[in-house]
Amino acid sequence: GPKVLQIPSHQIIDMGQMVTLNCDPVSNHLYFYWYKQILGQQMEFLVNFYNGKVMEKSKLFKDQFSVERPDGSYFTLKIQPTALEDSAVYFCASSSGLGYEQYFGPGTRLTVL
């Protein structure tokens, strides 16, 4: 079936550094999402993105977070600067339309030291 890829699978960085998480969504999907899952807790919505713009974001999507998808390349989540509480698994998802099935990637485990 359709697959979403995420690069890297693991990332370890020092607090205060910048990190970029990359997502290769399902081709021909137009809607993109980021979710955050802290170990042992539920997955939480961060942001969705369409046509080059953020459509909706949650309270977890801090000012240090940004998303973009330049020219159909990777859909990225950038955190600058990182904080200890940003340690989590970040899942990217894509869908062909709003309310349609969201296809998730395998996640990027981010550890902030």
Partner 1 sequence: QQKVQQSPESLSVPEGGMASLNCTSSDRNFQYFWWYRQHSGEGPKALMSIFSDGDKKEGRFTAHLNKASLHVSLHIRDSQPSDSALYFCAASEHDSGSWQLIFGSGTQLTVMP
Interface residues with partner 1 (CB under 8 A) are 4, 33, 35, 41-45, 48, 55-56, 58, 91, 93, 98-99, 101-107
Our CB check for partner 1 shows the closer of 5 and 13 to be 5
Our CB check for partner 1 shows the closer of 79 and 89 to be 89
The single-letter code of the amino acid at 113 is L
Q: Which of 20, 23, 2 is nearest to 73 (CA)?
A: 23
Our CB check for partner 1 shows the closer of 81 and 111 to be 111
- Residue 85: φ, ψ to 5°: -75, -5
Our CB check for partner 1 shows the closer of 40 and 70 to be 40
Closest distance of CB 87 from partner 1, Å = 18
Residue with the two structure tokens 């309310």? 99
Residues 6+ apart with CB under 8 A from 72: none
Residue with the two structure tokens 């539920």? 42
Closest distance of CB 16 from partner 1, Å = 29
Closest distance of CB 17 from partner 1, Å = 25
Look at strands 19-24 and 5-7 and give their pairing. Answer: antiparallel
Closest distance of CB 58 from partner 1, Å = 7
